[in-house]
Structure 1
């Protein structure tokens, strides 16, 4: 047996032990199924959901239940998958609005179950996203709950993953607008998501949350955020009869400081729900992805990211587990007063990044590359 084989066996053994330990504890806490009148151990986001919301809302509820009990993410995902599959195969008619016909209920249950089955194509997929709410948390929470589910359900996921991601933003916006109308919600949310499918990176975004890629110590900007002052966005808004006015910053109709977002029902269609997207081939030389809301990028420029991350890795002997916290602190120190979320996804061992940086520092040029027309070119190959 080779060293990698022994390492994999040890990892599987540890995972099995964690699973057994968790199930023993969980079954002691819940020895029998909860009855209809029993209180739920976690509070659902909503007491009423539409047909299209059942999948995402049930997954979110299950994940929170397991995360509160410190179950490792991999085991949480597997258990939630099985629980959601069982739910969507069950007869939900007793929970349905009685005004809806039996025919509609049956066809809906069948459709949702078949679309939930993940592709059996052996492609490794990873999804990461950041959402930044304004006017309340509802839109941001809703986007975080549903966009990845709509991607997984999409028939385009296997053949056109970038398009599937883009459409998921639009579908989620449409769903939230219906919810906002029912519940008189006025909030909105910007968002950016990255979907990695083997060696392809797909990104989609609404508003001014951003994603950047660092490759060989150089920052690659993958997108152009949606801001009212952008010439094309201003022209689109004015063509619809809206306006862009400067009130401390550029705002759509004097209100919202982004030109595209999920929600913002009072400002549709001026605030568009149509996401942009871009796709890139990964070469294996990428260091990490960084996704963050506008509060971070207001005070930390892309070319500063590399030095902050490298300094942190040097100080912590290549341990990158809390580098996102360091970046948030950097933004605060630089003067940001906004709420800040930063997500760093290492595509390479941080210790290797640190070693390579030491080799490249003397000959390295300024670490910044900008793809201006990235949204129009759907299949770029990253280059230094």
Structure 2
């Protein structure tokens, strides 16, 4: 096996996507219900380097098995999403009340991590990142959190259910204006905070932080026998596919990695030009 193949295999086993096009899969070892995951990333047509990063792994912590899944979609560089890949879940799990109140622990860790990113702006640069994270506790309890427009969608009996909230500037105009900012909507463009950023919440972005929030939307979803799978993906997918279209496209694909790849290929075929990263977690 060549050196490049060995490195790629190590990434797949660890479940960490890189800043280049990548793919991989894994499975639960402890859950009574068989759970598998697969991921796939595709570089967009922009001239800058790939700015999407992801985490997809199962980890044994104390007496529980945690599924840790995340999409980090960077802007103005890849240093912030790369930092999140390596630190956000550690910060969440290190919160003392994670096991008693995971929702509150996630909320605190998001905001603490953002403060650290801002403090390290000299090292990490002026860029930022959206995020959507999922923590699956013992295959039974799913804790979803997000800032920005990367999205989590659940399939239950074939019906799509969005578990995250798209933090769009126009929807949070009053909060932005109350902080002294403004929202622009120029012909042929999307709403932007201060004419620059197309999301109302994000990690980093020090120059805009007075007008941006890093407070995540957090939702808990219990996993019953009717839940088939869930999808995490960056906006490169959701710009060209509805939630139900994404669910319908992969519902009959049992292999999670194949399903994730199928979604990215469909987004490309629909002329998505953005970086596209996708994770599918399937309950068998």
Report the TM range for the smaller structure's normalisation: 0.7 to 0.9
Per-residue deviation, 1:184? 6.9
> 1:184 and 1:150 mapped to 2: Cα distance?
18
Unaligned runs of 5+ in 2: 1-5, 17-59
TM-score by length of 1: 0.57
Aligned equivalent of 1:279: 220
Return closer, same or farther for 1:159/1:259 CA change in 2, 3 Å cut-off: same
Moved segments of 4+, more than 6 Å? none
Question: Are 1:197 and 2:133 counterparts?
Answer: no
Instruction: Report which structure shows greater RCO (CA 8 Å, sep ≥6).
Output: 2
Cα distance change on mapping 1:185 and 1:285 into 2, 3 Å: same
Q: Distance in 1 between matches of 2:245 and 2:163?
A: 16
Q: Is residue 2:93 matched to residue 1:152?
A: yes
Deviations 1:128-183 (Å, cap 9, x if unpaired)? 00010011101111111110110121111110112212222111111111111x33
Structure richer in helix, relative to its length: 1
Are the structure 2 counterparts of residues 72 and 134 from structure 1 closer, same or farther at C-alpha, using a change threshold of 3 Å?
Answer: closer
Give 1:255-266 correspondences, 5 Å limit.
Answer: 255-266=196-207
- Normalised by the length of structure 2, the TM-score is 0.77
Is residue 79–residue 124 contact of structure 2 (8 Å, CA) maintained in 1?
no
- Rounded to whole Å, the distance in 1 between the matches of 2:234 and 2:242 is 13
Query: For 1:77-135, what per-residue CA distance to the aligned partner results, in whole angstroms no more than 9, with x for missing partners?
Result: xxxxxxxxxxxxxxxxxxxxxxxxxxxxxxxxxxxxxxxxx863x23321100010011
> In structure 2, do the counterparts of structure 1 residues 193 and 234 end up closer, same or farther at CA, with 3 Å as the change threshold?
same
Q: CA deviation at 1:74?
A: 6.9
Question: 1:119·1:158 contact (CA, 8 Å) conserved in 2?
Answer: no
Give 1:211 deviation, angstroms. Answer: 0.4
- 1:159-308 → structure 2 map (5 Å cutoff): 159-180=100-121, 182-183=122-123, 185-198=125-138, 199-230=140-171, 233-247=172-186, 248-308=189-249
Give the distance between the partners of 1:165 and 1:216, measured in 2 at CA.
Answer: 28
Structure of higher CA gyration radius? 1
**How many corresponding residue pairs?**
236
Q: State the SS of the aligned residue for 1:208.
A: coil
CA deviation after TM superposition for structure 1 residue 68, in Å: 5.5
Structure 1 distance, partners of 2:173, 2:15, is 47
